[in-house]
Amino acid sequence: MAITQSQPAARTGLELKLAERTARVTIVGLGYVGLPLAVEVAKSGLTVTGLEVSAEKVAHVSSGKSDIDDINDSVLAPLVQSQKLSATLDASILKDADCVVICVPTPLSKTKDPDVTYIVNAVDALVPHLHMDMLVVLESTTYPGTTEELIRPKLEASGLTVGKDFYLAFSPERVDPGNVRFGIHNTPRIVGGTTPACTRVARAFYEIFLETVVPVSSTQAAETVKLLENTFRSVNIGLVNEVALMCDRLGLDVWEIIEAADSKPFGFMKFYPGPGLGGHCIPIDPHYWSWKLRSLNYYARFIELAGDINAHMPEYIVERVARVLNEDAKSLRGATMLVLGVAYKRDISDVRESPSLDVIHLLRQRGAAVSYVDPYIPDVTLEDGTEMRAIALTDPELKAADCVVILTDHTDFDYTHICATAQMVFDSRNATRDVPPGTGRVWKL
């Protein structure tokens, strides 16, 4: 009996368009995720339109100007000039799109519940323009089940059937601001479709401009992969932050302990303590998971514990600064504090969820006079609405401060000079590790 081999599925009209680079792409949201994606897609030869609700953002992109650290004007401008990339406020552009990628914010409410308002608004804007052979992909980080339970019903209410008439998938963004080694193109991408056909079409789209695409069994699996990645980091950072607290009690140098443990070539992965978690992903994503599990009557103990430890690090930093001031018989009330760095990580202009802002707020609550220096952040607004502007890092400012507090280890700072000039320095990032011993008075986390 002859064995009949299964034939590969015939390519859809959209797959043929993708292969010929004639498919039209609309990216909803041109923020930290959407704009880098739009640039990479346009560089591959596809024509991209960014759909935005911000007129300011549309004006920036239309003039070839980037407000995202990782996208240079020199890269964006030629794509705009060649009409490979454009931006608009007009949602009717969706009717002409073959591929729609949703890259909108997914914040948490004050009670740590997922706020999917931006996703719902984006899908509602898409529904009137959904058409045959369209691919819809959600990239916004969210809880498992969002694509299947929230987006699919809205789209199928149009009368079209997923997997047959149109294609729906989830592909979690993996943007790491400031990472010069891994960007959109060479970071492997997870793709999970609502049906096998959806996965196949979504994979064909991403393979045009990415080196590696990793398909998974479903949208729920893809959604959970992203949550695992960032929960892994949150839990391990929570662990090493608690180790820092324990080393403080034991009179040990946590940085020495970490580096010595890292000499083991197996079974250990290095994480560093700090003033808390920042950025849109790590402080937020684990809460999507724990929220979903609470609805299933399961309490995610590791996630909640790590979140609690990390959330209280700004308070610990303030207490340590108070102890440092006590060395000179000073109190926080009335002290002059100079904070170095308010971005959530080094060498970027992103303050989303930055623990530095929490530390400044707490220092001010305790009666300290606080100013800050950050070459990337000219002004910030604190939780209580207080607006602050960065000052220049000068010798008079360093000398006048009762304590200089390093909260973000920007490479622009001359730490040896800072330590030699300031009255005292508290370093929460081990930024002064290369400063010659005996230079100034330095305390570390």
Active-site residues: which are they?
281
Q: At what angle do helices 301-311 and 313-326 cross, to 10 degrees?
A: 30
Are 219 and 196 in contact by the 8 Å Cβ rule? The answer is no
Nearest-5° Cα angle at 24, 94 to 183: 105
Query: Judging by beta carbons within 10 Å of its beta carbon (0-12, 13-18, 19+), is residue 119 exposed, middle or buried?
Result: buried
Dihedral angle of Cα 426, 430, 435, 439, to the nearest 10 degrees: 20
The residue among 356, 366, 364, 353 whose CA lies nearest residue 407 is 356
In this structure, what are the phi and psi dihedrals at residue 296, rounded to the nearest 5 degrees?
A: -105, 15
The residue among 213, 405, 432 whose CA lies nearest residue 324 is 405
Are 195 and 220 in contact by the 8 Å Cβ rule? The answer is no
Are 305 and 290 in contact by the 8 Å Cβ rule? The answer is no
Q: From CA 72, how far away is CA 66, in angstroms rounded?
A: 6
Please enumerate in sequence order all residues whose Cβ is within 8 A of that of 175, keeping only pairs 6 or more positions apart, or say none. Answer: 32, 33, 36, 70, 184
Indicate the residue type of 383.
Answer: E
The residue among 227, 314, 316 whose CA lies nearest residue 278 is 314
